[in-house]
């Protein structure tokens, strides 16, 4: 259910940015969503399609790029895409990617 409030925020930010740029139409919003955010892209799309009505984004396309979870050993810098895999350093982990949640671009007219 947190997808509803996230989608509301994405739309609000997009509308604010479009207004600052005197746009009449939002054509496309591109999001980056990390796997570790637990956000379900289909839910975001569903809420977006509902919320965008009666706005300048009513015909906008929502494009979502999912970023994989990548972790790294801070000692040897080896990277892994699976939390079950680690090196022998026993130095913990750093998250390289997978926590993103951002509007990457906004296409307006």
Which CATH number belongs to the domain containing residue 7 in this structure?
3.30.2320.50
Average pLDDT for 57-84: 92
Helices (H), the chain: 2-20, 41-51
pLDDT of 14: 98
Instruction: Evaluate whether 100 touches 32 at the Cβ level (below 8 Å).
Output: yes
The domain total for the chain is 1
72: in domain: no
7: in domain: yes
81: in domain: no
Instruction: Quote the CA–CA distance of 89 and 87 in Å, as a whole number.
Output: 6
Average pLDDT for 24-46: 96
pLDDT of 33: 97
pLDDT of 1: 62
Band (pLDDT 50/70/90 cuts) for residue 102 is very high
Band (pLDDT 50/70/90 cuts) for residue 47 is very high
87: in domain: no
39: in domain: yes
Residue 44: which domain range? 2-67+99-108
Over 90: is that where the pLDDT of 7 sits?
yes
């Amino acid at each position: 259910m947190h997808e509803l409030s996230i989608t509301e925020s994405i739309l609000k930010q997009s509308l604010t940015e479009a207004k600052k740029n005197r746009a009449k139409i939002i054509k496309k919003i591109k999001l980056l969503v990390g796997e570790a955010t637990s956000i379900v892209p289909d839910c975001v799309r569903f809420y977006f399609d509902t919320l965008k009505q009666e706005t300048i984004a009513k015909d906008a396309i929502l494009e979502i790029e999912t970023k994989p979870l990548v972790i790294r050993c801070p000692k040897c810098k080896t990277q892994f895409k699976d939390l079950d895999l680690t090196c022998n350093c026993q130095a913990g982990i750093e998250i390289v990617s997978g926590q993103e949640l951002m509007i990457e671009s906004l296409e307006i007219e």
